[in-house]
Amino acid sequence: MVKVAHVCTTSLSHKILVDKLNILKSKGYDVHIISSKEGYNSELMKKYSFTLRFIYMNRNINVKDDIVSIIKMKKLFKKEKYEIVHTHTAKAGIIGRIAGRLAGIPVVIHTSHGLPFYEGQSKTKYYTYRFLEKIGALFCDAIASQNKEDMEKIKQYAPQKPIYYEGNGVDLHKLDQRNGKISKDQIDLLKKQLNIPSNKKVILVGARLEPVKDHFFLLDGLRYLKENYNQNFICLLAGNGPLKEEILRTIHDNQLEDFVKLIGYQTDIYPYIKLADIVALTSQKEGVPRIIMEAMAFARPIVATDVLGTRELVIHNETGYLVEYKNVEELAFYLNLMLTDEKKRIEFGIKGRKRVEEYFTEEVVVDRIVRMYNELLKKKCKN
């Protein structure tokens, strides 16, 4: 049995990993998860039987904290004698790769869930994060990407490393089971609790309240929608983050209090997806957004920005509408088009579901990961 450590910066990332890692475990791998305890959800994790290890990692750049984390992780890696260390997220990707190489782990891999440097950042952040990714690449055997567009960028800063397409996916069987258990009565009760009139269409946005998700572009679009097209909607913002107060002020300043509701971070987002008529996302960039995959699995149509990661999932005018980033008028136009055309919503939802079935399931992703592991382990054996 191959012993694998999956390393992510905080426990907040457990949610996006556990279904995939559970399938990996079913294929005979001994899977451990290592992260900071920040964001740990005991209710989520009691459904799984992974070995968990907690090592503090500062999400910000802090040389002292980072060195301490590397030392502690190196000791753990040596003690556990992992055959593979597989890192996720930017900070864990640096700390875990360095610790893995120093500990003499046979195979060290990093998966990019969306590169931490991207157009639109300040030059300081862009080149700092790019430099750190170049450093991280020196300490691993291969790099995988959740989206195809990033692969070319990875090749530029890590030309000597094998680059794999990992993709991203959802556990369709699990989602279908959950969907089947959400009754119409539950949806009606939820709408009543949220004070959503029965005649209002619901737009759901599930995203951390942070700059890259660009809720302010969304709010500009909703204001334009309200003033020029349609007032028959409620937009639910699911998620927490550092921009919460600023977002609330913007809602107030734009007189959107009757149209936008913050519902916080939801450990069970699925009833909200089911009650939604549209799922939207206005990010500046993505890896491959899970909220969109889950919405498509629930046969929900999408309105989202035409950006890295998202456009790998959504096909314009087939599974949803893709909007030019920062084009407020276009965002409002397509939101209105979707809100007022039930036939399109149903058609796009059916096609979105089919696309997920064909290309974006956890089983497909795990098969790619297993092939990657086998190739890298064989290569190490030959050397």
Q: Which pLDDT score, from 0 to 100, does residue 117 have?
A: 85
Backbone angles phi, psi at 220, to 5 degrees: -60, -40
* Cβ atoms of 170 and 362 closer than 8 Å: yes
When the pLDDT of each residue in the chain is averaged and rounded to a whole number, the result is 95
Q: Average of pLDDT values for 351-360? A: 96
Give the DSSP H or E segment for 177: helix 172-180
Q: Average of pLDDT values for 307-325? A: 96
The residues near 187 (Cβ < 8 Å, ≥ 6 apart) are 271, 274, 275
pLDDT for 25-51, tens place per residue?
A: 999 999 999 999 999 999 899 989 999
Report how far residue 204's alpha carbon sits from residue 128's, in angstroms, rounded to the nearest whole number: 34
Whether 332 shows a pLDDT value over 80: the answer reads yes
Whether 334 shows a pLDDT value over 90: the answer reads yes
Q: Which pLDDT score, from 0 to 100, does residue 383 have?
A: 65
Q: Which pLDDT score, from 0 to 100, does residue 273 have?
A: 98
Sign of CA dihedral 16, 367, 292, 331: positive
The residues near 138 (Cβ < 8 Å, ≥ 6 apart) are none
Name which residue leads in pLDDT, 267 or 298.
298
Confidence grade of residue 287 (pLDDT, cut at 50, 70, 90): confident
Q: Average of pLDDT values for 93-115? A: 96
* Cβ atoms of 112 and 145 closer than 8 Å: yes
Share of the chain above pLDDT 90, in %: 89
For 304, counting Cβ atoms within 10 Å of its Cβ (0-12 exposed, 13-18 middle, 19+ buried), the class is buried
Q: Average of pLDDT values for 205-229? A: 97
3-state class of 249 per DSSP?
A: helix
For the beta carbon of residue 124, count every other beta carbon within 10 angstroms. Answer: 8
Whether 169 shows a pLDDT value over 90: the answer reads yes
pLDDT for 228-247, tens place per residue?
A: 998 999 999 999 999 999 99
Whether 12 shows a pLDDT value over 80: the answer reads yes
3-state class of 202 per DSSP?
A: strand
Angle (nearest 5°) at CA 13 between 11 and 16: 140
Q: Which pLDDT score, from 0 to 100, does residue 81 have?
A: 97
Tokens of 231: 């007032």
